[in-house]
Amino acid sequence: MRDTIRFLKGGQVVELSNVGPSETLLDYLRLRRMETGTKEGCGEGDCGACTVALGRLQGGRIVYQPVNSCIQLLGMIDGAELVTVEDLIEDKRLHPVQRAMVDLHGSQCGFCTPGFIMTLFTLYHAEGEHKSRKTVTEWLAGNLCRCTGYRPIIDAALEACFEAADDAFTWRSKQTRESLQMLADSRDVFLGDSNKFFSSPATLDGLAALFGQHPDATLVSGATDVGLWITKQLRDLKKMIWLGRIEGLDRVEESPSGVLIGATATYQATESAMNALSPNLAELWRRIGSKQVRASGTVGGNIANGSPIGDTPPALIALGTTLELHSAEGSRALPLEDFFIDYGKQDRRPGEFVTGLFVPRLSANQAFRCYKISKRFDQDISSVMGAFRFTVAPDATIIEARVAYGGMAGTPKRAFETEAALVGVSLEDPSTWGTAMQSLLSDFTPLTDMRASSEYRMETARALLAKALMEVSGTAPEDIRVLARREAGHDRAA
């Protein structure tokens, strides 16, 4: 058992024992270290002003990822290298990213600038990224600027971020790797007492035993949701169990039958596997949050928290995903759609937690489509999320369908009436589609809220079903998707 967290900062090992269960990394930097270069903006992971970089070993090399320090818990950086804007200057020389921002006039008021700098620092150290405006805007989708305008910032990124990295972090990478290897261990971490603690078990059995003793504890993986409970809902979370050090829980295993995803695998870590399952999934993944959110947020966490407007569950339900749960009593599996019982309520027994999910591959005669509708293209919550899997006979008749929606009910939900009505539909004859479109009225009675009205949600749900049928029947996606034309424009502007 270890009663401290340890991390690297400025080339030195920092060891802390006084870490509160809900203390954020931003508060530690600004209030304890008095390092105020990292700014406090929205407090919910949207604006990027608080962005810092975390470096961890992956495949023997250091990978730097941007994170929102406002919702990243301090205890979660155990074993990592923490890089803030104060760490970039070497011998009074600006980092190449900083120099490009100065030379190309990428800052006015400067409040957002440290966050932009840190996201671009991670792009600077990324490998294999295609030099284009599109690449830069995808990396910067989680950083907002109110006064400069994005063009000079994008120009600075294009100027600085696509050559081989050559900075102080590159020069001392060997020593950093050795330090990170030294920090890695297999001991459980426990800071506090039985009434108030931050803990990080190293094994699944250790987690099951601890959660069995403290079923009132909060389980946290990426904190992209739990962090808001702290900063926005002001919850006093006295017992926090971080899952990020459990060996094997972040696995992503591809097989001929499907993909096994561990509960702590991040969106970023699963992007390649999702693309192999379906390009539609890859596009959905790219629109979940920002680089900062996808580097921290996990697929398992999105499911375990059971949001009715979560982006991943409808798509995974439509694909026939199976969920795995575990406790000190053992493990069990269930279809993902059966996990969601009611708003805020899931089929999870005391002491039980999500350990992973299995997503089957599509058969040769199956087609899959999914669509996210939101007010903003980037960094926004769904108003409606629709996902569709059709099994098609050689004569273009649908012989089986799975249809799931988010934002249409208190939980992510299958449209069983619509699925039944789709059986026998001819993809070559749109006149046979009407009954299925009408059946959505029997499956859902959506509510009206700040994101959309009930009427809008229903009409949109029907339009998404029609779009899926049109695409699967042979209509080119670029003819009916605004996205395709918009991205083509980005490529021309690069």
Q: What is the mean pLDDT of each run of 10 residues along the chain (494 residues)?
A: 96 96 98 97 94 95 97 97 96 94 95 97 95 95 92 97 94 95 94 97 95 95 94 96 95 97 96 95 92 95 83 95 94 96 89 96 97 85 93 97 94 96 95 94 91 93 96 81 52 41
Tokens of 409: 């009910």
Q: The tokens of 426 are what?
A: 């001819």
Q: Which residue matches tokens 């299995």?
A: 358
pLDDT at res. 146:
86
CA distance 198 to 218: 10
Q: Where in the chain is the domain with CATH 3.10.20.30?
A: 20-183
Enter the pTM of the model.
0.91
In the chain, residues under CATH classification 3.30.465.10 are 252-360
- Residues in contact with 450: Cβ distance below 8 Å, sequence separation at least 6, in sequence order: none
Structure tokens at 215: 């079923």
Q: Does domain 366-485 have CATH number 3.40.50.10310?
A: no
Task: List residues bridging with 326 in a β-sheet.
Answer: 331, 353
Three-state secondary structure string covering the chain = CECCEEEEECCEEEEECCCCCCCEHHHHHHHHCCCCCCCCCCCCCCCCCCEEEEEEEECCEEEEEEEECCCCEHHHHCCCEEECHHHCCECCECCHHHHHHHHCCCCCCCCCHHHHHHHHHHHHCCCCCCCCHHHHHHHCCCCCCCCCCHHHHHHHHHHHCCCCCCCHHHHCHHHHHHHHHHHCCCCCEEEEECCEEEEECCCHHHHHHHHHHCCCCEEECCCCCHHHHHHCCCCCCCEEEECCCCCCCCCEEEECCEEEEECCCEHHHHHHHHHHHCHHHHHHHHCCCCHHHHHHCEHHHHHHCCCCCCCHHHHHHHCCCEEEEEECCEEEEEEHHHHEEECCEECCCCCCEEEEEEEECCCCCEEEEEEEECCCCCCCCCCEEEEEEEEECCCCEEEEEEEEEECCCCCCEECHHHHHHHCCCECCCHHHCHHHHHHHHHHCCCCCCCCCCHHHHHHHHHHHHHHHHHHHHCCCHHHHCHHHHHHHHHHHHC
User: In this structure, which amino acid lies at residue 313?
Assistant: P
Beta strands 239-242 and 196-200 are parallel
Residues of the chain with CATH 3.30.390.50: 366-485
Cα–Cα distance for residue pair 44/38, rounded to 1 Å: 15
Query: Rounded mean pLDDT of the chain?
Result: 93
* Maximum CA extent, the chain: 72
Which class in CATH covers the domain with range 252-360? Answer: alpha beta
CATH topology of domain 20-183: Ubiquitin-like (UB roll) (3.10.20)
Q: Which residues pair with 188 in a beta bridge?
A: none
CA distance linking residue 335 with residue 93, whole number of Å? 56
194 φ/ψ sector (left φ>0, alpha ψ -120 to 50, else beta)? alpha
Please measure the distance between the N-terminal and C-terminal CA atoms of the chain and give it in whole angstroms.
Answer: 52
The pLDDT score that the predictor gives to residue 412 is 93
Tell me the per-residue pLDDT of 420-444, one tens digit each, with 9 for 90 and over. Answer: 999 999 999 999 999 999 999 999 9
Please return the burial class of 212, using the count of CB atoms within 10 Å of its CB with bins 0-12, 13-18 and 19+: middle
The two tokens of residue 368 are 């899959």
